[in-house]
Amino acid sequence: MAHVCWQCGEELSRYHTGYLCDACQGKQLEKMITDDEDLVDAEGYAAMLGLDSAEQLKRVARKGLLAPRIPGVKKWVWRKDDIDAWFKREQQAGDVFRMAARGIASNLRTCRYDSVICSSPSDKIGNKVYGQELVLGTTDTGRVEPIDLVKVDRTTALKMLERLPKEGFPELVGITDWADMTYDRIDKDLIVRLEAYF
């Protein structure tokens, strides 16, 4: 398949990255500068994130944790507007994940510590962790009754699980669904870390 510049149609080398040839990339950047768009380079973006260097920024970029760069331009440069929009989205995602993490943490605590539900350490917690099924336990009154769990959206909770760094959460290594957590993996320290992470 021929790989050509989207702007001028010039053939590009197969090792060329981006959609535009070098000349058109330069022109696009110049145009953005004369159009007075706020552009941010790697050093500028690193500073916005509190990183020390563009090198650190590139490491973060490799994990896919940055705003998308300007399409077709090979240079490390972003539109300020894109970065702002990305921050806003990240913040919203953070809020949603925080709620999911607190819900899961609360349900882990209830099922593991607050209510006596007969289960052995190797049992999986199951969908109780999402608070979506009726669970009987011993309540404060000492009677066996349905216990209150927090309803947590499973899809969000699974995305949140993916976000947790496994170095910081060794109990979650190999876990791809909260429901697969066995009781012996749940301890107070994990619950506290989960509540505090987002």
Q: Which residues in this chain contact Zn ion in the complex, by CB under 5 A? A: 5, 7-8, 10, 21, 24
State in angstroms the smallest separation of the CB of 25 from Zn ion: 8
Judged by beta carbon, residue 3 or residue 59, the one nearer Zn ion is: 3
- CA–CA gap between residue 147 and residue 152 (Å, rounded): 15
> Smallest gap, in angstroms, from Cβ of residue 28 to Zn ion?
9
- Residue 139: C-alpha distances to residues 5, 117, 136, 148, 187 (Å): 68, 10, 9, 9, 20
**DSSP one-letter string for 15-59:** T--SSS-HHHHHHHHHHHHHTT--EEEHHHHHHHTT-S-HHHHHH
Complex with Zn ion: residue 23 or 196, whichever CB lies closer: 23
**CA quadruple 59, 62, 66, 69: dihedral sign:** positive
Q: Based on CB atoms, which residue is closest to Zn ion, 24 or 161?
A: 24
22 vs 133, beta carbon nearer Zn ion: 22
Shortest gap between Cβ of 10 and Zn ion (angstroms)?
Answer: 5
Q: Beta strand 39-41 with 77-79: parallel, antiparallel or unpaired? A: antiparallel
For the bound state, the minimum distance from the C-beta of residue 85 to Zn ion, rounded and expressed in Å, comes to: 28
The residue (of 21 and 147) whose beta carbon lies closer to Zn ion is: 21
Contact 156, 97 (CB under 8 A): yes
Residue 76 C-beta: closest distance to Zn ion, Å: 20
